[in-house]
Amino acid sequence: MRALFKKLFVLTLLVAVLAAVAGALAWRHFKAFSTAPLLVPEGATLVVSRGDSFVQVLAKLRAVGISEGHDLEWKLLAMQMEAMPRLQVGEYALQDTLSPRELLEKLVRGDVIRYRFTLVEGWSMRDLRAALARAEVLEDDVSMQTDEALMASLGRKGTPAEGRFLPETYTFVRGDSASHVLEQAADAMDRALAEAWSARAADVPLRSPEELLTLASIVEKETGQASERPEIAGVFARRLKVGMRLQTDPTVIYGLGAAFDGNLRRRDLQTDTPFNTYTRFGLPPTPIAMPGRAALSAAANPLDGETFYFVARGDGHHVFSKTYAEHQKAVRRYQLGQR
């Protein structure tokens, strides 16, 4: 009997040792799996959708080409990290430097891919809509809306859409809507316009932030040279003060809309529209483009001086003149001479 107990003890001990060894080997294998870099196909991404279970997320990982580890190992790792109920919705970049543990940490952190959308200074609403249509990652919820309906949906009912979005770069994630980006840009313009208006010169001939925005949009379209913006704003401010027409081509072009073919003719300057500053006094009824911060600042603080005219030199810069006679001379030199 004693011999039988001895054999059972030895057998039990052997089983225990084997179980311990097996457990140690399994733990070692599991640890190696959880920390080893994954082999990820180049450019692979993972999209975690709202309502996805961990099993569904794991299936998506398999679908994009991640074959490392048994499903049970992934589940055990997720349980150990308490990651299953904490996975964040979004699109994730999968780099081959990530280990399974690091990948799950990334999903829990919500370290999603952030895309960039840039609004360019001088864009019109037509340009902005075209750019949004090309942004395939953004959910399109604006193309079927009129400008009026769009502004109402952004909480700005009755506000013209033109010029109301600040040219900057905005970030978004997959699943965000175009209106989400526009809301960011509209809020940014509200802040930038308020700052420019509060810092305006005491004698600036503008009655409201809206007029400042309109003048800034004209300055934006007249020059791409940052150094010239204050002087161009100064020309327009002086014209407004003495009651001269602004006579600026970009407003006429804007008024022509889709009819403009790239060639501004004399008859266009003579055809009256609400935006023709050759036939009408004062500012046009709305902005004609999206001005940037520099143009807003220039319109709020025009450069003092005596110039009332300017003409393009053909190299991106302008020549400024005090009198009409000087201006005509510059036109003959830089415009008619080039033709």
Is 284 within a domain?
yes
Domain boundary among 83, 113, 143: 113
Does one domain contain both 310 and 250?
yes
CA distance linking residue 236 with residue 216, whole number of Å: 10
Query: How many structural domains does the chain have?
Result: 3
Does one domain contain both 206 and 331?
yes
Residue 20, pLDDT score: 55
Does one domain contain both 275 and 327?
yes
Residue 17, pLDDT score: 54
Does one domain contain both 155 and 180?
yes
Is 218 within a domain?
yes
Does one domain contain both 136 and 91?
no
Does one domain contain both 124 and 105?
no
CATH number, position 47: 3.30.1490.480
Is 43 within a domain?
yes
Say which residues have a Cβ less than 8 Å from residue 138's Cβ, sequence separation at least 6: 117, 132, 172, 176, 177, 178, 181
Helix axis angle for 2-35 and 71-80, nearest 10°, is: 80
Tell me the residue range of the domain where 223 lies. 201-336
- Asked if 306 and 329 touch (Cβ cutoff 8 Å), the reply is no
Does one domain contain both 84 and 153?
no
Does one domain contain both 66 and 105?
yes
Is 214 within a domain?
yes
Domain boundary among 133, 167, 192: 192
Does one domain contain both 188 and 233?
no
Is 11 within a domain?
no
The beta-carbon contacts of 327-336 under 8 Å, at least 24 apart in sequence, are: 335/311
- Asked if 329 and 313 touch (Cβ cutoff 8 Å), the reply is no
Backbone angles phi, psi at 211, to 5 degrees: -65, -35
Strands (E), the chain: 45-48, 90-93, 115-118, 169-172, 309-312, 318-321
Residue 176, pLDDT score: 92
Does one domain contain both 217 and 331?
yes
Provide the b/e sequence for 37-69 (b: ≥16 CB within 10 Å). Answer: ebebeeebebbbeeeeebeebbebbeeeebeeb
Does one domain contain both 160 and 257?
no
Does one domain contain both 212 and 243?
yes
Considering only CA atoms, which of 171, 214, 206 is closest in space to residue 189? 214
Is 23 within a domain?
no
Residue 314, pLDDT score: 82
Residue 263, pLDDT score: 87
Is 18 within a domain?
no
Domain boundary among 145, 175, 192: 192
Residue 339, pLDDT score: 47
Could you tell me what percentage of the chain is helix, strand and coil, using 3-state DSSP and rounding each to the nearest 5? 50, 10, 40
Kindly give the parts of the chain with pLDDT less than 50.
Answer: 339
